[in-house]
Amino acid sequence: MSRTALSRIRALTFYKDSLTKSQRGDPVPQLECVGKPCRLYQPEVVRCTNIGGEGVDVDWKCEADLPESLRFGKVEVSCEGWDGPGDPYVLKGSCALQYRLVQVPDALRRLDEPRFRSRLSGWFDAAYENPSAVIFTIIWLACLLFIAYRFLKSCFSSRSGSASSSLSRPRPSGGGPGSNWFSSNHRLGYSDPPPPYTKYPTSSTSASRAGWRPGFWSGAALGGIGTYLLNRNQRERERARPATAAYDWEQERVFRPSSPSSRPSGWGFGSGRRSGFSSEDRGEGSSNLGSMRRSTGIGGSNVR
């Protein structure tokens, strides 16, 4: 075992499920995740780079590939002092990283996407998860178009029929009220008597002329079915999304272990440095967590 100055360490690489070295106590995990989002995803490797400082007050920039719905919160590098806590010289191989993950709401990570693109992608996601609902939607749209077509066709056919009948009907010549119908017909070349007139037409004749026309209740039924289908798909997508919650540590700045499976390390936070993050696209990530991106966290150090 050998020692080195903490400020002279240029970079550190931490691995999941690996332990540190120790000469005074038990080894601790090289990577320790704190917070509820740790149950969703944990990086396998985290790389931290020295960005300045002296003594035990050294700042670190830590990077790892995370899904776009997660980012680094507070990060802190902890090393075992050679002579004890607060020693600027630390034991080689004794450094570990404790970090927090923060879940980013969908409304914040999708601000750069067009509205129509998000709706279209949501429709394709629903089609992949529930193809029967998509087939029913297509049938519903086809029925709606068919009703509109029949309605327009009946309107135009009734107008054209009334116009043609008014043009083909013979009009008596101007003989005044005393002119004879049959004499005018003979003059115009019509010898047949006019068709019989019925004041109250039969129901069969009216039904055959009227044909089928869409009514209020048929349209209301189709509209209700379509609304139910859309609301059902929306509820299924909301149930599939991971719930986002607010974390008290962001306001209180107090360390509270939230997972009983996390190992006690015997060391806490040192300097209360502020943390930041940045992201770059890294391909596809875990299910429902988004694509992988490079996340960066800034933090300080602690000598235990």
Give per-10-residue mean pLDDT for the chain (304 aa).
Answer: 92 96 92 93 96 94 94 95 93 96 78 54 68 81 88 79 56 50 47 58 49 59 69 64 45 41 40 43 58 93 93
Domain boundary among 243, 258, 283: 243
Q: What is the DSSP letter of 96?
A: E
State both tokens at 69. 């719905």
Domain contains 269: yes
Domain contains 230: yes
The pLDDT, as a whole number, for residue 239 is: 62
Structural Rg of the chain based on CA atoms: 40
Domain contains 154: yes
Residues 287, 256 share a domain: yes
Residues 123, 52 share a domain: no
Residues 259, 235 share a domain: no
- Residue 64: strand pairing partners: 295
Domain contains 19: yes
Residues 122, 232 share a domain: yes
Residues 238, 149 share a domain: yes
The pLDDT, as a whole number, for residue 93 is: 94
Whether the CB-CB separation of 3 and 92 falls below 8 Å is answered with yes
Whether the CB-CB separation of 96 and 78 falls below 8 Å is answered with yes
The pLDDT, as a whole number, for residue 29 is: 96
Residues 239, 138 share a domain: yes
The pLDDT, as a whole number, for residue 188 is: 47
Domain contains 16: yes
Domain contains 257: yes
Residues 117, 216 share a domain: yes
Residues 148, 28 share a domain: no
Domain contains 263: yes
* Assessment of whether the complete model's pTM goes beyond 0.85: no
Nearest of 7, 8, 10, 71 to residue 279 by alpha carbon? 71
Domain contains 127: yes
The pLDDT, as a whole number, for residue 289 is: 80
Domain boundary among 199, 222, 243: 243
Separation of alpha carbons 161 and 171, rounded Å: 18
CB-side exposure of 21: number of CA atoms within 13 Å? 11
Give the E-state strand segments of 55-175 in sequence order. Answer: 57-67, 70-79, 89-91, 96-103
Residues 252, 234 share a domain: no
Residues 76, 24 share a domain: yes
Query: Please, what sign has the CA dihedral across residues 83, 89, 94, 100?
Result: positive
State both tokens at 172. 């008596």
Residues 37, 154 share a domain: no
Find the distance separating the first CA and the last CA of the chain, reported in whole Å.
17
Residues 269, 236 share a domain: no
The pLDDT, as a whole number, for residue 291 is: 85
The pLDDT, as a whole number, for residue 280 is: 47
The pLDDT, as a whole number, for residue 76 is: 96
Residue numbers of the domain that contains 68: 3-105+245-303
Q: How many domains does the chain have?
A: 2
50 three-class SS: strand
CA–CA distances in Å: residue 49 to residues 26, 67, 77, 86, 161: 26, 21, 10, 21, 85
